[in-house]
Structures are given as C-alpha cells and as structure tokens.
C-alpha cells in the first residue's frame, strides 16, 4: 500500500473523511492512498490518480459554496432557527425564509444580506475568484419542536431544506430519574418446553413480572429485529433483515390465538426435539413456527374482519406492505435480492397497501408477513403499556443492516454498497474487523432529512423505554473498508452528529424513551462530551474495571453510567473467572502461548484481589455476588444483571471476530426458563440488588 500525498489527504478531509486516526497503541495511523481512493470513489468523488486531485477538489469547493442553504438545519430547545447562507461577499440582495412546522404553523423572516454580518470567508479559485462568505439569518419557530420544512430565497436562488427542531437532552437522562435496575437476557436463549428451540415474548413477559415484582424497572435483550431464517439464513441480531420491522420468530403464538395449533402432536414433538438440541436451530425453529403463523394469518383474513382492517390500516401507514412483498419474493426465490431476476431486483414499484400486491407474488406469504408484524407490534405495545410506566423494555439499535436487507433493496441510494462497516485493529483483533454491513451515505441521509434514520429510531422507541445505540461513535464517524481490502485498510467516514442527535432527542421525548450509547473501544475525544451534553447515558462494564492486585477493588461506575458486569460480546462472569476466554483466544490464534500465560497471570491476580485465587465454583459465585452488589450500591444510573451470571453459565453468547468458528447467537440457557427463574439463589441475589437500589 502507498502512503498518500498532502493533496490527496486534503481532498479526503474536504470530502468528509478522516484519513488519520489514533490507533489502539496510541500511535498515529494514516490510511493508504489506495484505501482513500476506494472510499472517495464510493462517495462519488472521482479521482483519476493520487497526485491528480485538483479537479476533484475544485468540484467539492464549487458544490460546498454553491449550496446556498444546507439541506438540514437544527434548532435546539425551541430557540430561533439560525440559517447559514453561503453567498458572494459583495451580494446585497434580499433573503426570505418561510418555515412550515410539522403542526402546520408558518413562520417567516426576511431582509437584506448586508444587514446580517458575515463570517467564514473563502476565496476559492473554483468560484471564479469571487469572495464568498457565510451570513446567518434567523426565524422564530414559536417554540414548536418537530420535523419542519424550510423554504428559502437568497438573491436569485431558491430552494427547500429540512429543519430538525429538537430538545437538546434525551428524555429520562441520567440525573433526571432515580437509581434503577433490571436484568439482561438474550430472548432466543430463554426457552422451555412450550417454546421449543428458542424463547419468545411470553418469556419476556415472565421476566418483566419477575423484575417488577422485586421493584426493578428494565428487562434488556438483544435486538428483536427482522432476520433471514430460511434461505439465506443470517440469524445474527446485529445483521438484521431490516431495522424497521420485528422478528416474528419471537411472537407469543399462544397469546396470538395459536394454542390449538401448539397442542397438535406433531407440533409438540417438534418443539420437544428442538428443545433437546444443544444450540438454537433457527431454520427448524422458524419452520414449525411459520406453519402456525400461516394458519393464524389466514384465519384472521377469513374470519376476523376487525383484525384484517387493523393490519390493512397499519400497512397503509408506512412500508409494511412493501416489506411483506419483499419477504414473499425472497421466500419464493430462496435467494438474497442481489441474486433475483432483474425485474424483481430492480423493477418492483413501491407497494403502498396490501391491495397493490404485484401479479405473481404469493398473496398468502405477503399476508403472513403483514399480519405477523402487526401482531408483534400489538404484543410489544401491550408490554410497554403494562410495564413501561417506570421503566420497560431496554432494546439495542444495531449499527446497520445486512447487505441483503429490505431497505438496501428498496433504498440503495442511502447505502454505500462498495464499503463495509467495521473497526480498526485493536488489542484483541490486530487484523481489524469487517462486519459486512453497508454504511449509510452521509449526503443521501441529509438530502432526505434523515427520514430513514428517524423511522428506525421511532420503530424502536415506540415499544422500548430505553434504547442502547450500538457503537455510538457511529453517530460521529464510521470505520469503512473498501470492497476487496483488508480490515486493516479502512477509512473513517464522518457524519453530522448534531443532526443525528437531534433525531434521537426528538424521538426520545415523543416516546418517553431514555437513550444509552455503547461507547466501548476506540472513542474519539468529542464523543463523550456530546453524550453528556445530550443526556445520553454511557456504559460501564465491570470486566474492564476489575482490580489487578490485592487491596484494590473494582472501579465504581459514575451516575451517568448504565453498569453491568459484562456484555453480550464478552465472557460471562464464570467464563472470565475461570479464564475460559483466554483459552478460547489461544485456540483461535488470537494470542500465542506466551501472551496467554501472561493473561492467565493477570486473571489470577484479579481473582486474588477479589478474595480468592481459586477458579472453582464456590469462589466464583461469591465473587460474582460481591461484584453484583457493588454495582447495585454504586451511583450508576441503571444496573443490569446478566441472569446467566447468577447460575455461573460458562460459555459466551458471542465471540467477536468469529462466525462459523463459534456458535454465536445460538447458545440457550443451560436451564429451562421456568426452572432458572424459580431458583431461590437467583431470587435472593435479585432481592439484594433491589434492596440496594430502592425506588
């Protein structure tokens, strides 16, 4: 790979890239010229050679200064909207602004440019030598928050922009509510005799009943988003088939009217067979459940006119009918959309209602998907109404979607398909990470006023009471790897964090949903101050704060933290205590024998600091309980207890950087859910947490 010259670096920065960053060892890292050219090409910046950037730079300057008003303007806390106007410095023409608010109110302001003052002067050669500047005009919004439209006239130019008028801090921010607690459990893992191979919303309700009966507020789980569970099969909750729709695998079938179907001998036998398997078989679990879903959807269409009308109404409000058609086509083709015939891949118009299903598409399949989404929404809505008054469901918003996802098919212009989101090299993954998720295109997002992002956030917050933003650094920048490049050769692409935070803040207040950001890993200096400014809680992971010598204690989380002993990407407490993660890294070739021995020595020192240099179960259980109580006694905003820790589960749910090498996202609890939740030892420790965090 070739080191970039100064001209290419300057072009990259002007195009919204960060060509250099601080690596995990504290050293400066600069992207190669080839990687920069690859990412610039994905952004539509044409460069013929690394040392021939003048034309591209001139084009960027013309575009920047030719944009009289930005496509998105933000106003905070009901204050006046400040609109930057990029104009020739000598221009003393008229300007006029007209904002139509979401509620239909119209606010206007007008004047002459010279009256506004000027800043940010520029003399770009690309603008024929004319001096340009930025002048700021203001228009009152009457205090109304929302997604507004701005019509503007500046000199002889006119156009429209999006206005995001939002509160500056999230609803329920740290310091605005008492010290709270809850539990964490991956829903697929919480299974029993009735559910078969994977848990469902019935188990989620049972967890809520257990937690709220003890005075807790939250039940946290992994993303519950739509997934491909047939052909293709991508069960990872962090590579969903859509961030706009739910995973019908988790529907409580009995509560949806399927009790009779569940009682059939062949269905009961299949549930028992899958329950006995050591890992979740998503294809088989979805197959038997899909048969029941088809029956329930058909029965609703034929014999429940009120339900059919409700599904029809829901389908007309957004993209549900279109999504259902997409899934029906995919099931018929048994292939990702990129492998469909051209007429299906590129030629299916947007389907706005269930009355518009294209000819040749199986209406029964469409009906099942539409009904299942409606039913999932109803059941999740019931949970929020019942348990969301003082807490509720804690959901996770993945950083992106599967490359085969619905919205990539329907809105390809929103995604940079020549790039993949990932992470730079660090101590665990010296080769970097390529997650395979196509990043969103910054310019396309802005051009639409962040409509897609708002839809994703709204979908979650409508049903959740706290939303965790996976990889919150992605609101500021994303590490993007060009197609065909190694994960070490990524480049950071910048986004507009103020605009993105405005979307989250607005939806947070509208849905009374708190926000937490996953700020682990390589975190730019500006991220945590922005989180604090906007009332976004941070994460505290006890495993990363353990003592290293006798006389020391686990670090204490701060009031702005959501604290837990571990995450879905780390070992369980028992696995950590026994050093199982070190053994696994050695087996995967991520460390050599000498490094593994050094880590084992450090882990032994941690055990000694916690009171016992003994990897056995009794010492592990005592240390886990002590650390859990320490978190509960801390000033942390929220404490989440990983239920698997309470009975010393040893294996992790996910080993980052692996796919087929480990059974990620497929490990069930080692105990049936009803038995685990009834365990007196589990109940006793949860009662201790509750006593240390009274309402």
pLDDT in tens, 275-287: 999 999 999 999 9
Q: What is the C-alpha to C-alpha distance for residues 623 and 685, in angstroms, rounded to an integer?
A: 12
Residue 684, SS3 per DSSP: helix
User: Residue 645's pLDDT is what?
Assistant: 97
Rounded distance between C-alpha atoms, residue 52 and residue 311, angstroms:
56
Report the alpha-carbon distance of residue 363 to residue 349 in Å, rounded.
16
Q: What is the pLDDT of residue 695?
A: 76
Average pLDDT over residues 437-466: 97
Average pLDDT over every residue of 453-481: 97
Residues 6+ apart with CB under 8 A from 648: 572, 573, 574, 617, 620, 621, 624
* 208-218 pLDDT tens trace: 999 999 999 99
Average pLDDT over residues 45-74: 91
666 vs 43: CA distance, rounded Å: 37
Contacts 24+ apart (CB under 8 A), 27-31: 29/424, 30/3, 30/4, 31/4, 31/489, 31/490, 31/491
Residue 263: the pLDDT is 94
pLDDT-derived band at 693 (thresholds 50, 70, 90) equals very high
Q: What pTM was estimated for this model as a whole? A: 0.96
Residue 428: the pLDDT is 66
Query: 122 pairs with which residues across the strands?
Result: 132
What is the model's pLDDT at position 296?
97
Q: What is the pLDDT of residues 610-630, one digit of tens each?
A: 988 888 999 999 999 999 999
Q: How far apart are CA 665 and CA 280, in angstroms?
A: 8
Q: Is the pLDDT of residue 130 over 80?
A: yes
| Backbone phi and psi for residue 107, each to the nearest 5 degrees, phi listed first | -125, 135
Q: Would the pLDDT of 133 be above 90? A: yes
Give the C-alpha separation, 438 to 336, whole Å: 15
Average pLDDT of span 23-46 = 92
Instruction: Lowest mean pLDDT of 88-92, 222-226, 293-297, 374-378, name the range.
Output: 88-92
* Tokens describing residue 648: 């010393």
**Beta strand extents in 337-432 (DSSP E only):** 392-397, 419-423
Local structure of residue 175 (DSSP, 8 states): T
Tens digit of each residue's pLDDT (9 = 90 or more) over 554-601: 999 999 999 999 999 999 999 999 999 999 989 988 889 999 999 999
Is 513 a residue whose pLDDT tops 90?
Answer: yes
Rounded CA-CA distance 668/653 in Å is 9
Is the confidence at residue 155, as pLDDT, over 90?
A: no
Residues in CB range of 529: below 8 A, 6 or more apart? none
In this prediction, residue 494 carries a pLDDT of 98
Average pLDDT of the chain is 94
Helix, strand, coil share (%) of the chain residues, nearest 5: 40, 20, 40
> What is the Cα–Cα distance from 106 to 79, expressed in whole angstroms?
15
Parallel, antiparallel, or unpaired for β 392-397 and 466-469?
Answer: parallel
Predicted confidence band of residue 178 (pLDDT cuts 50, 70, 90):
confident
Q: What is the dihedral of CA 555, 556, 559, 560, to 10 degrees?
A: 20
Quote the CA–CA distance of 46 and 63 in Å, as a whole number. Answer: 14
| % of the chain exceeding 90 in pLDDT | 84
Q: Is there a contact between 415 and 441 (Cβ–Cβ < 8 Å)? A: yes
End-to-end CA distance of the chain: 58
CB 53 within 8 Å of CB 7: yes
Calculate the alpha carbon distances from 259 to 194, 196, 253, 641, 672 in Å. 10, 14, 7, 32, 20
Which pLDDT tens digit goes with each residue over 251-276? 999 999 999 999 999 999 999 999 99
């Amino acid at each position: 790979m070739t080191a970039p010259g100064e001209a290419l670096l300057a072009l990259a920065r002007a195009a919204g890239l960060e060509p250099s960053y601080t690596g995990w060892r504290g050293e400066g890292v600069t992207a190669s010229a080839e990687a920069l050219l690859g990412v610039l090409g994905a952004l539509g910046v044409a460069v013929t050679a690394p040392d021939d950037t003048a034309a591209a730079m001139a084009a960027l300057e013309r575009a920047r200064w030719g944009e009289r008003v930005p496509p998105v303007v933000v106003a905070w806390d009901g204050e006046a909207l400040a609109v930057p106007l990029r104009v020739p410095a000598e221009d003393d023409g008229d300007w006029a602004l007209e904002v139509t608010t979401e509620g239909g109110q119209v606010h206007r302001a007008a004047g002459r440019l010279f009256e506004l003052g000027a800043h940010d002067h520029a003399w770009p050669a690309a603008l024929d030598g004319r001096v340009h500047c930025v002048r700021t005009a203001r228009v009152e919004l009457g205090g109304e928050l929302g997604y507004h439209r701005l019509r503007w006239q500046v000199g002889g130019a006119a156009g429209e922009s999006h206005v995001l008028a939002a509160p500056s801090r999230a609803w329920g921010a740290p310091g605005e509510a008492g010290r709270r607690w809850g539990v964490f459990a991956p829903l697929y893992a919480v299974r029993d005799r009735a559910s078969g191979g994977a848990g469902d919303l019935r188990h989620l309700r049972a967890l809520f009943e257990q937690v709220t009966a003890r005075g807790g507020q939250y039940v946290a789980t992994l993303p519950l988003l739509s997934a491909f569970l047939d052909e293709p099969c991508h069960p990872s909750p962090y590579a969903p088939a859509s961030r706009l729709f739910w995973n019908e695998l988790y529907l409580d079938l009995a509560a949806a009217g399927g009790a009779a179907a569940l009682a059939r001998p062949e269905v009961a036998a299949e549930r028992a067979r899958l329950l006995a398997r050591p890992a979740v078989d998503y294809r088989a679990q979805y197959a038997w459940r899909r048969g029941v879903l088809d029956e329930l959807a058909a029965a609703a269409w034929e014999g429940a006119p009120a339900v059919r009308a409700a599904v029809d109404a829901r389908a007309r409000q957004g993209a549900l009918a279109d999504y259902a058609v997409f899934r029906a086509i995919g099931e018929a083709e048994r292939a990702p959309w990129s492998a469909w015939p051209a007429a299906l891949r590129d030629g299916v118009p947007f389907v706005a209602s269930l009355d518009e299903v294209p000819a040749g598409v199986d209406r029964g399949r469409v009906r099942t998907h539409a009904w299942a989404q409606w039913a999932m929404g109803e059941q999740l809505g019931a949970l929020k109404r019942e348990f969301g008054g003082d807490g509720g469901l804690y959901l996770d918003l993945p950083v992106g979607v599967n490359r085969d996802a619905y919205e990539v098919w329907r809105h390809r212009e929103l995604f940079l398909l020549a790039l993949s989101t990932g992470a730079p090299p660090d101590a665990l993954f010296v080769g970097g990470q390529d997650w395979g998720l196509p990043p969103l295109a910054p310019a396309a997002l802005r051009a639409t006023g962040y409509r897609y992002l708002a839809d994703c956030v709204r979908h979650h917050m409508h049903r959740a009471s706290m939303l965790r933003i996976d990889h919150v650094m992605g609101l500021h920048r994303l590490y993007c790897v060009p197609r065909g490049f190694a994960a070490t050769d990524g480049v950071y692409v910048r986004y507009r964090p103020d605009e993105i935070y405005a979307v989250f803040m607005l939806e947070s207040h509208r849905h009374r949903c708190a926000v937490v950001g996953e700020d682990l890993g390589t975190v730019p200096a500006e991220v945590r101050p922005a989180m604090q400014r906007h009332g976004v809680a941070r994460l505290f992971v006890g495993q990363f704060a353990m003592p290293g010598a006798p006389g020391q204690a686990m670090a204490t989380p701060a009031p702005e933290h959501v604290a837990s002993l571990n995450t879905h990407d780390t070992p369980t407490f028992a696995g950590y205590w026994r050093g199982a993660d070190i053994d696994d890294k050695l087996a995967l070739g991520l460390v050599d024998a000498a490094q593994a021995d050094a880590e084992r020595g450090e882990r032994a020192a941690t055990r000694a600091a916690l009171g016992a240099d003994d990897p056995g179960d009794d010492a592990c259980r005592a240390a886990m309980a002590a650390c859990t109580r320490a978190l509960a006694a801390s000033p942390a905003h929220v404490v989440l207890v990983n239920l698997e820790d309470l009975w010393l589960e040893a294996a992790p749910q996910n080993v980052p950087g692996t796919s087929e090498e480990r059974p990620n996202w497929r490990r069930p609890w080692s105990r049936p859910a009803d038995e685990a939740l009834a365990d007196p030892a589990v109940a006793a420790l949860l009662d201790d947490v509750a006593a240390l965090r009274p309402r």
